[in-house]
Amino acid sequence: MRVYYDRDADVNMIKGKNVAVVGYGSQGHAHALNLRDSGVKNVVVALREGSGSVEKAEAEQLKVVSPAEAAKWADVVMVLTPDEGQAKLYNDDLRENMKDGAALAFAHGLNIHFRLIEPRPDLDVFMVAPKGPGHTVRSEYQRGAGVPMLLAIEQDASGNAHDLGLAYACAIGGGRAGVIGTSFREECETDLFGEQVVLCGGLTSLIVAAYETLVEAGYSSEMAYFECVHEVKLIVDLIYEGGIANMRYSVSNTAEYGDYVSGPRIIDDSVRARMREVLDDIQSGRFTKEWMLENAAGQPSFKAMRRRAAENDIEKVGAKLRAMMPWIAENALVDKSRN
Ligand code: NAD
Ligand code: MG
């Protein structure tokens, strides 16, 4: 595995380019602002007319144009819109309009790896995928640091795709932390697996199941929330800082013993077998196909699941308890009005 740093890159390769960042959400705002602060003079944000993000980008003095206009002007088009709409964006606005030999870039490999987008052969196609939410990509950059990023090249029409991608990654802060070389396939499949099995799916299902088990057993929902939700952060921070052993060093011996004897009862061989099934659905493209069908139908079950989950008692109890801890909101990473 190759890791690159600022010293390996020629950031001038990106500074003189016209860079269009399509989308101004979690990743978009971080890329656009970091590029500009790194000295890339010609950065525009591309948004659809009437998009709620226009005001946020203009508030940062960024120029906002339509995706088609941006494509005609740009040497590098970074696509930071939701994955499920990228194929339509490419087909409607980018394919016909992008300059000969321009670069098409992504922060996630899904559309290219599963061939939802078939990029024009004259284009360079690369991926710079920050290993962190956009809000952290921005806040770490402002602190003078950066988050680690992945770099992958799918098409190298110019012969410079790698160096250009690396320059881009460094301009948004990746070279300060390390830019890891990978492929679209590896990034895409491991990313989907991680978010489904651990980060989003596994963790939230574990939390909700444990919370409901305590509440059903007659314990107060406030206690269940503190033990099964709130304290997750304390544990994750310890793991994040020094690995699992660091967390076990810090907790009591009773907690550590319970970890060894009960953890494998919860995550047993049947769970591992289903993890392999989830991985198989990802690798075979079944997951992506279903998600795209869901989108083609207007996301009915996605929206229903989102609504039902938001109505869960755990969210109401959480809102009440978090109000007792004002420091949480003061240090919030997400500010829906700005980014
Ligand atoms: P987001 O939902 O936060 O923001 C999407 C933005 O795109 C919004 O500004 C929206 O107005 C705009 N948009 C939607 N459709 C558009 C269109 N047709 N034309 C122009 N603008 C349009 O998205 P995000 O979470 O930043 O994800 C963007 C990409 O980054 C995805 O490929 C995602 O997989 C990847 N990524 C995200 C994260 C993350 O932290 N959220 C981390 C790594 C990679
Ligand atoms: Mg991810």
| Ligand 1 atom nearest to CA at 92 | 18
Q: Is residue 107 in contact with ligand 1, taking CB distance under 6 Å?
A: yes
pLDDT at 67 over 90: yes
pLDDT at 215 over 70: yes
pLDDT at 65 over 90: yes
The confidence score (pLDDT) of residue 338 equals: 65
Residue closest via CA to ligand 1's atom 29 equals 80
Q: Looking at 108, 113, 135, 162, which residue is catalytic?
A: 108
pLDDT at 116 over 80: yes
| Ligand 1 atom nearest to CA at 106 | 32
| Dihedral angle sign, alpha carbons of residues 156, 158, 163, 168 | negative
Q: What is the end-to-end Cα distance of the chain in Å, rounded? A: 33
Q: CB burial class (10 A; 0-12, 13-18, 19+) of residue 11?
A: middle
The confidence score (pLDDT) of residue 1 equals: 86
The confidence score (pLDDT) of residue 332 equals: 80
pLDDT one-digit tens code per residue, 153-190: 999 999 999 999 999 999 999 999 999 999 999 999 99
Q: Is residue 178 in contact with ligand 1, taking CB distance under 6 Å?
A: no
**Span 106-115, average pLDDT:** 97
pLDDT at 337 over 90: no
pLDDT at 329 over 90: no
Q: Is residue 184 in contact with ligand 1, taking CB distance under 6 Å?
A: no
The confidence score (pLDDT) of residue 211 equals: 98
Position 333 confidence tier, pLDDT thresholds 50, 70, 90: confident
pLDDT one-digit tens code per residue, 24-52: 999 999 999 999 999 999 999 999 999 99
Distance CA 54, CA 32 (A): 13
Q: Are 47 and 24 in contact (CB under 8 A)?
A: yes
Sheet holding 179-181, edge to edge: 3-4, 179-181, 149-155, 124-130, 103-106, 76-79, 18-22, 42-46, 63-65
Q: From the CB of residue 216, how many other CB atoms can be counted at a distance below 10 Å?
A: 9
pLDDT at 339 over 70: no
The confidence score (pLDDT) of residue 107 equals: 98
Closest ligand, as measured to the CA of 105: 1
pLDDT at 335 over 90: no
Position 282 confidence tier, pLDDT thresholds 50, 70, 90: very high
Q: Which of 33, 56, 62, 81 to mutate to test the pocket of ligand 1 (most atoms within 8 A of CB)?
A: 81
Ligand 1 centre distance from Cα of residue 26 (Å): 6
Residue closest via CA to ligand 1's atom 14 equals 81
The confidence score (pLDDT) of residue 198 equals: 98
Residue closest via CA to ligand 1's atom 20 equals 47
Q: Which of 80, 95, 114 to mutate to test the pocket of ligand 1 (most atoms within 8 A of CB)?
A: 80
pLDDT one-digit tens code per residue, 230-273: 999 999 999 999 999 999 999 999 999 999 999 999 999 999 99
Q: Are 112 and 134 in contact (CB under 8 A)?
A: no
Backbone angles phi, psi at 3, to 5 degrees: -120, 130
Mean pLDDT over each residue of the chain, to the nearest integer:
96
HEC states along the chain?
CCEECHHHCCCHHHHCCEEEEECCCHHHHHHHHHHHHCCCCEEEEECCCCCCCHHHHHCCCCEEECHHHHHHHCCEEEECCCHHHHHHHHHHHHCCCCCCCCEEEECCCHHHHCCCCCCCCCCEEEEEEECCCHHHHHHHHHCCCCCCEEEEEEECCCCCHHHHHHHHHHHCCHHHHCEEECCHHHHHHHHHHHHHHHHCHHHHHHHHHHHHHHHHCCCCHHHHHHHHHHCHHHHHHHHHHHHHHHHHHHCCHHHHHHHHHHHHHHCCHHHHHHHHHHHHHHHCCHHHHHHHHHHHCCCHHHHHHHHHHHCCHHHHHHHHHHHCCHHHHHCCCCCCCCC
Distance CA 161, CA 14 (A): 11
Residue 78 forms beta bridges with which residues? 21, 105
Give the whole-number percent of the chain exceeding pLDDT 90: 95
Domains recognised in the chain with CATH numbers: 3-183 (3.40.50.720), 192-330 (1.10.1040.10)
Distance CA 244, CA 153 (A): 33
Within 8 A by CB and 6+ apart from 180, the residues are 1, 2, 3, 4, 148, 149, 150, 151
pLDDT at 336 over 80: no
Q: Which residue has the tokens 């952290």?
A: 136
Q: Are 93 and 71 in contact (CB under 8 A)?
A: yes
Q: From the CB of residue 287, how many other CB atoms can be counted at a distance below 10 Å?
A: 20
230 in active site: no
